[in-house]
Each structure stands twice: as structure tokens, then as C-alpha cells.
Amino acid sequence: MTKMKTTINVAVISCICLAMLGCKKYNEDYKDYLDNKEITYPGLATKVGYQAGNLRTVLFWNPSPDPSVKSYLITWNNGVDSMVVNATSNDPAVKMSVSVPGLMEYVYSFKIVARDAEGNKSVGQELNNVRVYGPAYAAILINRAHDPATPFEFNSDGSLKLNFTKADSTNYSTVIKYTNVSGATEERTLPRDEMSINIPNYKLGTPVQYKSSFKPERTAADAFFVNSYSDFPEIFRIVEMDKSKFQALSFPTDIRSEYGWELRYLWDNKKEESQGAGFHTGGSGMPQWFGIDLGAQTTLNSFRLWQRSSALYNVA
């Protein structure tokens, strides 16, 4: 019995020794992989994001507070493409950004890795689903519509007012191109939140064109213009003609005046019979016609007649 007990004790002691030897050996194995050096991981950037652009993207982040961070390595296309951005600040409250140009109209994934002066790298952060826009997006855009009911009107000071419909949610602005009173081409911009724009120096009778821009995402870095201008409806102003240039005409078949009420009295600014005679024709049946030279070539929009207020034609 004593012999067996001694044998067991020896076996236990042997196992413990072997275990201690084994642990000591394995605890030092990592040094073979680290070349007797420690691995250093610089601090991470925070709040990583992007702004969509036109064949580019703008990446932004708040820098790591780790003072050892000297630069950021940005990679995309599975690491095939890369760029280095110097760490200009270690203040996490500062926003760093960089534009990555020369991209295709595609969805990308980026990785941002912080690096120190010795080349140590952070584990990095991935930024996925970064959308880049380009010609295909621009091709589907259409200009903001003008107000079909009242496309334009003139203000009391004589300036022109152009009216538009409510803008699309992605609309950014609309550029108005017109000719000013000096004959030069001028542009003004209508923001998306406004429905009309005033043009104080528009040259009447000249064409007006407009082109809208859009942002594919609310925070996009770039706005995209529609590929071509749209023509605004023809702009004309209804004004009272210069009656000092009016002249009565007399053609062979024209109706004649009677009772001293002459054709020229039609435009003498007298609106009541008590102010003087008007124009009176003979009773030769209907229809009747007469001619007036307006003194200018124009398009009549409307005219007004004041009816005689006495005798047979008293309509009061």
C-alpha cells in the first residue's frame, strides 16, 4: 500500500512539472511572431461619413485624440486604390474632410486607417454604400416648372416677376437667364424654397430661359444641373397706348359720323357725355366699321368703350 501511494505521488509531481514546463514554453511562443516587439494600434477616427458628389465623394471624420496619429490611409476598390491624408489636428471636435475624385457612377466601400510615425496602423473603419453620381443621374433631371396659370406679372414699380410651381424635394436652385435693359445677358438664381423671383432690369420683348439644379441627397457635396435650358413663355406687358399718336382713317366703305360726334372723340379721355361729345354713327343698319391708325405696330389685348348715357341708349 505504501509503495503504491509513493508511486502515485511521484506520477502527480511529474505531471505538474511537465505542465509547468509546457506553460512556460507556450507563454513565450508569441515572441516568435512579434519579433520581440509589442503591437501598437493608433486611436480610431470617429463619426465617419460621406457627402455624395459628381464623379467624386467627400469623406469626413473627427480625428483621433491620439497624439501619435500622423496620417490617415484611405483605401477603396478592395485596397487597389488609396490616398494619404495628413492628420492636421488631434482634436475630436474638429471635422476633417477630403475629396476623392476620379470615381465612376457606382456604389463604393472605403476604409479609413489611422497611422503613426512608425507605420503602426489602427484597425480602421469601413464606410460602405457610398453612392457616387454622374451623367446617368443628370440625364433624368427636368427643369422646375413655371406656374401655368400666371407664369409672369409686372410689379407696380415696373419690374418683372416670374412665377414657378412648388419645387421638387431634391431641387437645389433654378438659374434664370435673360437680357437686361443694356442688352447684356444676365443671370439670377431662384432658391428652391421660393416660388417667384423679381427681375428689375428685364428688357421687354427678349426671351427668358431657365435651368434647374438638383442634389441627389440632402447632404450632397455637388448639385447637378439639367442638361439644357427651358424656354419661359413669351413675356409681354399690357400697357395703355399713346393716344396722341392715334389718327382717324376714312375708307370708302367706312361708316360716317353724324351730329358733330366725330371719330377722333373716341380717344379724348372723356368718359361721360357731360364732358363732351363722343362718336356717333348714322342709322344705316349693322354691321358698321371704321378705321383708326394707332401710330404703332402692336397686338391689342383689350379695349374699352363707354356707352352713351342718354336717349335710347340710357342703360343706367
pLDDT band at 316 (very low <50, low <70, confident <90, very high): very low
For position 263, what pLDDT does the model report? 86
Which pLDDT tens digit goes with each residue over 94-121?
Answer: 999 999 999 999 999 999 999 998 889 9
Give whichever of 117-121, 191-195, 240-244 has the largest mean pLDDT.
191-195
How much is the average pLDDT of 133-160? 96
> For all residues of the chain together, what is the average pLDDT?
87
How much is the average pLDDT of 144-152? 97
**Ordered structural domains, the chain, with CATH:** 46-132 (2.60.40.10), 139-231 (2.60.40.10), 238-316 (no CATH)
Tell me the C-alpha to C-alpha distance, in Å, between residue 308 and each of 55, 141, 263, 277, 289: 73, 59, 14, 10, 18
How much is the average pLDDT of 225-235? 97
Q: Which of 7-21, 169-183, 278-292 is least confident?
A: 7-21
d(CA 54, CA 170): 15
pLDDT band at 37 (very low <50, low <70, confident <90, very high): low
For position 9, what pLDDT does the model report? 53
For position 301, what pLDDT does the model report? 79
How much is the average pLDDT of 49-64? 97
How much is the average pLDDT of 12-20? 52
pLDDT band at 33 (very low <50, low <70, confident <90, very high): low
| Cell numbers at 105, concatenated | 457612377
Query: Which amino acid does the sequence have at 118?
Result: E
What is the Cα 189 distance to its own chain's centre?
Answer: 10
What is the Cα 247 distance to its own chain's centre?
Answer: 53
Helix count and strand count (H, E) for the chain: 3, 17
d(CA 196, CA 136): 30
pLDDT band at 26 (very low <50, low <70, confident <90, very high): low
In the chain, the percentage of residues whose pLDDT exceeds 90 is: 59
Check residues 61 and 32 and name the one with the higher pLDDT: 61
For position 161, what pLDDT does the model report? 98
CB neighbours of residue 160 within 10 Å: 20
- Using only C-alpha atoms, the chain has a radius of gyration, in whole angstroms, of 43
For residue 125, pLDDT beyond 70: yes
For position 238, what pLDDT does the model report? 79
pLDDT band at 315 (very low <50, low <70, confident <90, very high): very low
For position 149, what pLDDT does the model report? 96
